[in-house]
Amino acid sequence: MSDADQKLVDGPVGVHGTGPGPADPARPPGGAGLRQRTSPRPVWDEEPGVAGKGAKAVALVAICLAVLLPLYTIVLTSLSTQATITRAGGLVLVPGELTLEAYRQVLSGGVVTRAVLISVFVTTVGTTISMLVSVLAAYGLSRPGSLGHRAVLFTFLVTMFFGAGMIPTYLLVSSLGLINSWWSLILPTAVSAFNVLLLRGFFMGLDQGILEAARIDGASDWRILGQIVLPMSKAVLAVIALFYGVGYWNAYFNATLYIQDFDRMPLQVVLQSFVLQGVDVPGQVDVGSGQLAPVAVQMAVVVIAIVPVLVVYPFIQRHFASGVLIGAVKG
Amino acid sequence: MATNTRPAAVAPQPAGPQGGKARRKAPTAVGARPQTGLRARLRRDRSLLLMCLPGVLLLVVFAYVPMLGNVIAFQDYSPFTGFRESPFVGWLNFQRVFADPAFWHAVQNTLTITAFQLVFFFPVPIALALLLNSVLSSRVRVLVQSVVYLPHFFSWVLVVAIFQQILGGAGLLNRLLRTAGFEPVDIVTNPDAFLFLVTAQAVWKDAGWGMIVFLAALAAIDPALYEAAAMDGANRWRRMWHITLPALKSVIVLLLILRLGDALTVGFEQLILQRDAVGQGVAEVLDTFVYYRGVRNGDWSYAAAAGLVKGLVSLGLVLAANKIAHLFGEQGVYQKA
């Protein structure tokens, strides 16, 4: 992984080292002449048959649809009127009459609104704390041979191979008085040794000459970290922050374990009880008026739980390249 | 991960103290670092140590103290008496765990899911990576990658909810089946289909993401190898067999090791979300067993003993798998520094 560290910033995984290939061999034939000229296919590689190309295109389209189709129908249903949903008999595939009513109801105060605010709070505070602690620890561990280096590194490594287990952790959180407190959703998962080591690997791969020069000029480690290392590491920091942020936003079980009042539950728990268990959204759905199917409200809650991920994802997705991800998937 | 075993190339250690010129007491000879006294090293490295402090503190409190908390596995613990007052009972809890058919049932369910996913999940990212790698247009590759990575960032609650909406009794699939005049199928609450359901969910959520490692390994292959093989008359399949797959070998071994070390862990949130729908018969795995026995039923010491057994066996599995990898000449997860 070390060699890849420098290259992990930006750029898709270049497979044949091609530039932007304007031609699209996976698409069914058409404009073949143009494709011949601009094809990035190396000369020694034989052209696959029509059947092979067709099968490949079908496979790629099917894979993408398997991901996108469920999302499409859920978003569409959340935007549909009761009449459209009734006519479809459930999830809507063909757009009919559209309305924002479900979102207006869900977000006009009440359980879901509160859960969203709680999740936003936990995610922002948690990610901030996690990033601060992880960046500091990663830099602190980035110079082998420094005092206590091996012992501290070992402290982090051990937690990757042996977890204390759910019961003692629960008893600890409870004896610290954190039950029913949002801190119980943040502190126990605040440091991921894995993310710290990932960052550390990146910091160690930076040009040490620059850091050395700064050190000779009398810069303290705090200054080197803040003014040299961090500006050079924006991409990897964004990726790690995404990992932490998504972790906090998506966490479900810790909340059912540590939080007792339904009023204090984060969004994932509310999503679970409304959508999976079909509990009515209290004070949200006006059953009497019959204006809105609970299905639309349910799907609106699903969409609200996805949206933050969808919003952040494109900005950080472009940083996903070999280096960070080789390590990341191992986690 | 090799981060801790990085060669010394990245560590051109500064010879002198780093506290800034002004604070330098006595000039230190170049290359004298190993002889530097403890106090000088402390002065030089104290900011580094200070930086590690918050992380170490959090780990000590939330990872190491609970490790010690496992003493309750040897006690007859009750929340009212606490750690100090609860009587020690030796290995009694472990004897209870090992004599409990419910425990072995959970172990069996766990290993069944692991084995099933090893066959039906593990190869999917490899196949996906090979497919995507054969696409020449980088625009299509990037597009497909962005799409298939996405579900990895969805929560398990979302994934289970989506599957319920699509495959559930009143879901999209059954509605289409009914309109087409077929019998509806029960997938979401059918214990017999549970293995397929959890594996399908895992594939939908994580197979795309799992592809990344393999794509990176594929990108690292020298194209000259393919060219030379093609010149020698190797066709597409021969090239895949003799060049591509050997290049993926060490990544595959590495991921197999990690999976083996995690053999006793199968998507806890995923299972606990669906345990009630399909019943404990198939959905009770070790982690859910520990949770229900301990937190739900209050049999703390028993659950802690079961959890400790799981943790220790997992640790043993990782170490053993890594040893085997070394024997086969692979890098493994870690090496001796």
The model's pLDDT over A155-189, given as tens digits with 9 standing for 90+, comes to: 999 998 888 889 999 999 999 999 999 999 999 99
Please provide residue B8's backbone torsions phi and psi, each rounded to the nearest 5 degrees: -70, -5
Contacts of A68 in chain B (CB under 8 A): 147
Is residue A4 within 8 A of residue B6, CB to CB? The reply is no
Question: Closest to A220 (Cβ–Cβ): which among B47, B258, B295?
Answer: B47
Buried b (16+ CB within 10 A) or exposed e, A150-172: eebbebbbbbbbebbbbbbbbbb
Q: Give the pLDDT of residue B1.
A: 37
Q: Give the pLDDT of residue A12.
A: 38
Q: Give the pLDDT of residue A125.
A: 98
Is residue A3 within 8 A of residue B118, CB to CB? The reply is no
Question: Closest to A73 (Cβ–Cβ): which among B172, B208, B231?
Answer: B172
In angstroms, what separates the C-alpha of A92 from chain B's closest C-alpha?
9
For the stretch B183-212, pLDDT in tens is 888 888 888 899 999 999 999 999 999 998
Q: How far apart are CA B183 and CA B211, in angstroms?
A: 36
Q: A330 touching B, CB under 8 A?
A: yes
Nearest to A126 by CA among A228, A25, A3, A254: A254
Mean pLDDT value of segment A308-318:
86
Nearest to B153 by CA among B97, B206, B223, B91: B206
Contacts of A162 in chain B (CB under 8 A): 67, 311-312, 314-315
Mean pLDDT value of segment A299-306:
93
**Which residues have a Cβ under 8 Å from the Cβ of A51 and sit 6 or more positions away?**
none
3-state secondary structure of B38: helix
Q: How far apart are the first and last CA of chain B?
A: 12
**Per-residue three-class SS string for B41-101:** HHHHHHHHHHHHHHHHHHHHHHHHHHHHHHHHHHECCCCCCHHHHCCECCCHHHHHHHCCH
- Residue A21 to residue B138, Cβ atoms within 8 A: yes
Q: Could you tell me which residues are beta bridge partners of residue B75? A: B88
Q: Which of A234-248, B133-147, B280-294 has the lowest mean pLDDT?
A: B133-147
Q: Could you tell me which residues are beta bridge partners of residue A98? A: A80
Is residue A252 within 8 A of residue B269, CB to CB? The reply is yes
Is residue A214 within 8 A of residue A96, CB to CB? The reply is no
**Which residues have a Cβ under 8 Å from the Cβ of A261 and sit 6 or more positions away?**
A180
**Which residues have a Cβ under 8 Å from the Cβ of B9 and sit 6 or more positions away?**
none
Q: How far apart are CA B309 and CA A87, in angstroms?
A: 54
Q: B89 touching A, CB under 8 A?
A: no
Q: Give the pLDDT of residue A176.
A: 94
Higher pLDDT, A215 or B250: A215
Tokens of A1: 């992984």
Q: Is it the case that residue B264 has pLDDT exceeding 60?
A: yes
Nearest to B210 by CA among B284, B124, B146, B143: B124
Is residue A11 within 8 A of residue B217, CB to CB? The reply is no
Nearest to B265 by CA among B236, B244, B285, B295: B285
Query: Helical H runs in B150-263?
Result: 156-167, 172-179, 194-202, 208-219, 223-231, 236-239, 245-261
Calculate what percentage of chain A has a pLDDT beyond 70. 80
Tokens of A321: 């390249």
Tokens of B220: 């690292």
**CA of A205: which chain B residue's CA is closest?**
B10
- Position A150 confidence tier, pLDDT thresholds 50, 70, 90: very high
**CA of A144: which chain B residue's CA is closest?**
B11
Q: B115 touching A, CB under 8 A?
A: no
Residue type, position B123, single letter: P
Residue type, position B124, single letter: V
**CA of A274: which chain B residue's CA is closest?**
B161
Q: Is it the case that residue A307 has pLDDT exceeding 90?
A: yes
For tokens 């090893």, name the residue: B118
- Position A329 confidence tier, pLDDT thresholds 50, 70, 90: very low
Long-range contacts (CB closer than 8 Å, 24 or more residues apart) made by B100-107: B102/B284, B102/B289, B103/B289, B103/B306, B105/B284, B106/B284, B106/B285, B106/B286, B106/B288, B106/B289, B107/B264, B107/B286
Q: Could you tell me which residues are beta bridge partners of residue B88? A: B75
Nearest to B132 by CA among A187, A77, A64, A49: A64
Q: A1 touching B, CB under 8 A?
A: yes
Q: B35 touching A, CB under 8 A?
A: no
CB burial class (10 A; 0-12, 13-18, 19+) of residue B319? middle
Mean pLDDT of the residues in chain A: 81
Q: Give the pLDDT of residue B330.
A: 67
Interface of B with A in 284-303 (CB under 8 A): 287, 290-291, 294-295, 300, 303
Q: A218 touching B, CB under 8 A?
A: yes
Q: Give the pLDDT of residue A111.
A: 86
Tokens of A99: 């309305």
Buried b (16+ CB within 10 A) or exposed e, A59-88: ebeebeeebeebbebbbbbbbbbbebbeeb
Nearest to B193 by CA among B108, B266, B279, B265: B279
Q: Give the pLDDT of residue A246.
A: 94
Is residue A306 within 8 A of residue B156, CB to CB? The reply is no
Whether pTM exceeds 0.90: no
Tokens of B33: 């670092």
A–B interface: beta-carbon pairs under 8 A? 370
Q: How far apart are CA B96 and CA B93, in angstroms?
A: 5
Contacts of B12 in chain A (CB under 8 A): 208, 212
- Residue B204 to residue A67, Cβ atoms within 8 A: yes
For the stretch B61-95, pLDDT in tens is 999 999 999 999 999 898 888 888 888 998 999 99
**Which residues have a Cβ under 8 Å from the Cβ of A46 and sit 6 or more positions away?**
B230, B235, B236
- Residue B227 to residue A212, Cβ atoms within 8 A: no
Q: What is the ipTM of this complex?
A: 0.82
Interface of A with B in 222-241 (CB under 8 A): 222, 225
Most confident of A204-218, B102-116, B249-263: B102-116
Higher pLDDT, B133 or A38: B133
Buried b (16+ CB within 10 A) or exposed e, A183-218: bbbbbbbbbbbbbbbbbbbbbbbbebeebeebbeee
Q: B51 touching A, CB under 8 A?
A: yes
For the stretch A10-50, pLDDT in tens is 333 333 333 333 444 444 444 444 444 456 777 777 777 88
Q: How far apart are CA B259 and CA A142, in angstroms?
A: 29
In angstroms, what separates the C-alpha of A290 from chain B's closest C-alpha?
20
- Residue A172 to residue B66, Cβ atoms within 8 A: yes
Q: How far apart are the first and last CA of chain A?
A: 14
A94, B14, B34 from B29: Cα distances, Å: 78, 11, 11
Nearest to B172 by CA among A297, A91, A324, A268: A91
Question: Closest to B142 (Cβ–Cβ): which among A12, A150, A174?
Answer: A12
Q: What angle do CA A29, A31, A37 make, to 5 degrees?
A: 110
For the stretch A199-238, pLDDT in tens is 998 899 888 899 999 999 999 999 999 999 999 988 889 9
3-state secondary structure of A296: helix
Q: Which of A99-103, B51-55, B202-206, B249-253 has the lowest mean pLDDT?
A: B249-253
Interface of A with B in 46-105 (CB under 8 A): 46, 48, 56, 59-60, 63-64, 66-68, 70-71, 73-74, 89-91, 93
Q: Is it the case that residue B337 has pLDDT exceeding 70?
A: no
Q: Which of A42-46, A71-75, A107-111, B154-158 has the lowest mean pLDDT?
A: A42-46
Interface of B with A in 231-260 (CB under 8 A): 231, 235-236, 254-255, 258
Q: What angle do CA A287, A293, A297 make, to 5 degrees?
A: 100
- Residue B135 to residue A25, Cβ atoms within 8 A: yes
Q: How far apart are CA B109 and CA A324, in angstroms?
A: 34
Nearest to B189 by CA among B160, B223, B231, B218: B160
In angstroms, what separates the C-alpha of A283 from chain B's closest C-alpha?
22
Q: Give the pLDDT of residue A70.
A: 93
- Residue B226 to residue A44, Cβ atoms within 8 A: yes
CB burial class (10 A; 0-12, 13-18, 19+) of residue A36? exposed
In angstroms, what separates the C-alpha of A288 from chain B's closest C-alpha?
24
Contacts of A59 in chain B (CB under 8 A): 131
Q: How far apart are CA B318 and CA B316, in angstroms?
A: 6
Tokens of B304: 């802690």
Q: Give the pLDDT of residue B163.
A: 92
- Residue B50 to residue A140, Cβ atoms within 8 A: yes
Q: How far apart are CA B62 and CA B51, in angstroms?
A: 18
For the stretch B14-65, pLDDT in tens is 434 443 344 444 444 444 455 568 888 888 899 999 999 999 999 999 999 9
The number of angstroms, rounded, from the C-alpha of A143 to the middle of its chain's C-alpha atoms is: 30
Tokens of A278: 């079909």
